Structure 1
Amino acid sequence: MLRLLVAAGGTGGGVYPALAVLGALVASSESADVLWVGGEGGMEASIVGRSGIQYQAIPAAGLHGVGPLALPGNLLRMARGIRASRRILRDFQPDVLFFTGGYVGVPMSFAGRRLPQAMYVPDIEPALALRWISRWADSIVVTTDESRAYYAGDKAVEVVGYPTRTALIPLPKPEARQALGLSEDMPTVLVFGGSRGARSINEALWKCLPVLLEQMQVIHITGQLDWPRVEAEAAAIKPQQQARYRPYPYVHDDMAKIFSAVDLVVSRAGAAVLGEYPLFGLPAIL
């Protein structure tokens, strides 16, 4: 049986491609023992936990662009992460390591640099963490051909496109709207700041929300950080418009329904959404 260790986290852009790959692995009937390693306090813990995958967390921190006061502490966390990674590798004994993004991958990749490593890069240009990991990666998989320019000529780079989750199956729009309790006749917009939310997008929406609700339904995924503000913002909406505003802090299982139900998306231009919106034929303002 294949023993696969996945190290990814930080944002949905790093987490969801790995989940998609694991879903394809299960669908192919390949038998595998999988352990996911995330960062301490990372948003990936709840997402991976819902998938029933073994999960452990290690210390990890970014170094690029960090101020001089924070740098020593981040270096210490990275060193602790390497030690924790070595313990995990010793206990789990993986056959291969797989990375899709996030600083949590750096200490694990370094600790396991003598083991086979593969990485998938969602973005055209790899972030700093994946650039470091590419030093030890045996196989690099990318979304577009333009990404080849960022890797040394001796690296095996394969273009495969963006892996979408098996749960993202488009539904007929009337069926999706009925399942979400939305009007089937009114234009519907999704406003979405990515897995962590985007305060600038949230605030821009709240400023014009009453005007928008006169003409359309709005599904608003705020992210956890701004969720406490939703009650106060919703209180300013006219009572007859309340049902047209559907805020959520985050959505785990119903994204396929939401993508199928809406006519337009306003969101950040993350790698995950750029890979998933075309699956649903969604026009978007990014």
Structure 2
Amino acid sequence: MANYRFILSGGGTGGHIYPAIAIANELKARHKEAEFLFVGAKDRMEMEKVPQAGYRIEGLWISGLQRKLTLKNLMFPLKVISSLMKARKIVSRFKPDIVIGTGGYASGPVLRVAGSRKIPYVLQEQNSFAGITNKLLAKKASKIFVAYDGMEQFFPAEKISKTGNPVRAKLVSSESGKETAADFFGLDPNKTIVLIIGGSLGARKINMLIEEKLSYFEKEGVQLIWQCGKLYYEEYKKYDSASVKVFDFLNRMDLTYAAADIIISRAGAGSVSELCIVGKPVLFIPSPNVAEDHQTKNAQALVDKDAALMISEKELQAEFEERFSALLGSPEEMTKLSANIKLLARPEATRRIADEIEKILSSK
């Protein structure tokens, strides 16, 4: 069996990092002697999360362009040159058989270098609206793995493979029950537990909503697992109590999801894919501050199939309590949402991507 060498590159947010780790884990299970190297952006969360998953990572000095004129933008050309130089060294030294890009600025220089050296690379695009890095890299990609229909507007149709998004393997195979999971968090399994996840960095509007509604949740007898995000933890940790558990980041998502009866979440592609597999009632509050409002489109796709609820940020003040109380008071609605969202799950996504990567390797 060939001792393959894989470079995986992507990052900035959990939505880019966890698919890369899931793909690496699947390939590692198939090729025990294979070598893996991740490449990310210095000072971003991948530099912590990838080593936690047991893989080596090297960081590039790279970041995206800001929407307004800033010192960071003036540094951008220098960062690109620096990152391309380092990417050339990494590729020359590691000699990958294939490079896998999962989006984010760090994947640009590495895949660009791979393409210039005729090393095959593949892209994994999580969202319904393709990221700029993946759009720029699409032309030379061997294959592009997507989760949504209609991606021909961004990528060459003949390169697209609709696989769904890879998710953390523990979520697919998790057998944790609510009692064990609630005990892990120090919560009462006989009371309703609501999980709030605003993404790895946090969501200002969702955090403000939860802070404002703490007395409402208490009145309803609801317990909270509140991931407020790294950017906001210092501000909200004071609310940690017997019935409200505040975290900057949650590492044991298998237990987190098992504990939850209802989930309040942003609608990033990675979150949506995981929540379909988890199969719990979900209330989406999409971020409006993303390209082409793609989070609203992600959530709407589930709402149209009676698989989730959605409230826009501008409707929160007027509608949140009424909509949430209606859900809380209707076991029938909760059961229906759970059943319907599970029908949309693609637990085989990671396996299918690994199959396609192996086909490319065998044709080299």
TM-score of the pair, normalised by structure 2: 0.73
User: What residue identity is the alignment partner of 2:33?
Assistant: S
Alpha-carbon contact 1:109-1:136 (below 8 Å) kept: no
2:255 is matched with: 257
* RCO comparison, higher one (Cα < 8 Å, 6+): 1
User: What residue identity is the alignment partner of 2:244?
Assistant: Y
Note if 1:55 corresponds to 2:53: no
Shift in Å, 1:170: 4.3
Q: Deviations over 1:181-236 (max 9, x none)?
A: 210111110111111111221111111112212320000011111111124445xx
How do 1:1-286 residues align onto structure 2 when only pairs under 5 Å count? Answer: 1-63=3-65, 65-67=67-69, 69-113=71-115, 114-153=118-157, 155-168=158-171, 169-214=174-219, 215-234=221-240, 242-252=241-251, 254-286=252-284
Kindly indicate which of the two structures has a greater share of residues assigned to helix: 2
User: What residue identity is the alignment partner of 2:281?
Assistant: P
Counterpart Cα distance in 2 of 1:231 and 1:21? 34
Counterpart Cα distance in 2 of 1:256 and 1:262? 10
Task: Note the residue ranges of structure 2 that are not aligned, 5 or more in a row.
Answer: 285-364
Shift in Å, 1:148: 3.1
Shift in Å, 1:30: 4.9
Distance 1:30-1:160 versus aligned 2 partners, 3 A rule: farther
1:239 is matched with: none
User: What SS is found at the alignment partner of 2:179?
Assistant: helix
Counterpart Cα distance in 1 of 2:144 and 2:6? 16
Q: Kindly report the root-mean-square deviation, in angstroms, between the aligned alpha carbons of the 2 structures.
A: 1.7
Counterpart Cα distance in 1 of 2:167 and 2:270? 8
Q: Deviations over 1:26-61 (max 9, x none)?
A: 233453100000101011111101011011001112
Bigger Cα displacement from structure 2, 83-92 vs 142-151 = 142-151
Kindly indicate which of the two structures has a greater share of residues assigned to strand: 1
Counterpart Cα distance in 2 of 1:64 and 1:231? 30
Alpha-carbon contact 2:139-2:156 (below 8 Å) kept: no
Task: Note the residue ranges of structure 1 that are not aligned, 5 or more in a row.
Answer: 235-241
Aligned length: 277
Shift in Å, 1:91: 0.9
